[in-house]
Amino acid sequence: GAGVSQTPSNKVTEKGKYVELRCDPISGHTALYWYRQSLGQGPEFLIYFQGTGAADDSGLPNDRFFAVRPEGSVSTLKIQRTERGDSAVYLCASSPLRSGAFFGQGTRLTVV
């Protein structure tokens, strides 16, 4: 597709469960970012991939959060033992090297 695609668009899960959120970046974009947007807040940086490796994971809140990008394209954000405070919109963005970022529509995660 033409833009960054995120699936699912909405996810409701029970506290304590494991979830995976998927991001398909724009073809050819080497840089991929995950951000989290809580209600009433601006997006907050979580992790950055350059190619397959996580070059900067300084924004991940704790070790329940993990992300992979095994082939340098699609990325998956994984959250273990979800908590109600994890409820937010998770945004993915991709960009060519040293250029502006293009954002997906986000996945709205609700932990009940």
Partner 1 sequence: AQSVAQPEDQVNVAEGNPLTVKCTYSVSGNPYLFWYVQYPNRGLQFLLKYITGDNLVKGSYGFEAEFNKSQTSFHLKKPSALVSDSALYFCAVRDIGPRGNEKLTFGTGTRLTIIP
112 in Cβ contact with 14 (< 8 Å): yes
Residue from 2, 58, 70, 71 in contact with partner 1 (CB under 8 A): 58
56 lies in the site for partner 1, by CB under 8 A: yes
Q: How far apart are CA 29 and CA 89, in angstroms?
A: 22
Minimum CB separation of residue 45 from partner 1 in Å reads 5
Nearer to partner 1, 87 or 105 (CB): 105
2 lies in the site for partner 1, by CB under 8 A: no
Query: In 10 A of CB 67, how many CB atoms?
Result: 22
User: Number of residues in contact with partner 1, rule: CB under 8 A?
Assistant: 27
Residues 14-53 that bind partner 1 (CB under 8 A): 31, 33, 35, 40-45, 48, 50
25 in Cβ contact with 44 (< 8 Å): no
**How many residues are present in the chain?**
112
89 in Cβ contact with 107 (< 8 Å): yes
User: Is residue 86 classed as helix, strand or coil in its secondary structure?
Assistant: helix
Q: Which residues bind partner 1 (CB under 8 A)?
A: 3-4, 31, 33, 35, 40-45, 48, 50, 55-56, 58-59, 91, 93, 98, 100-106
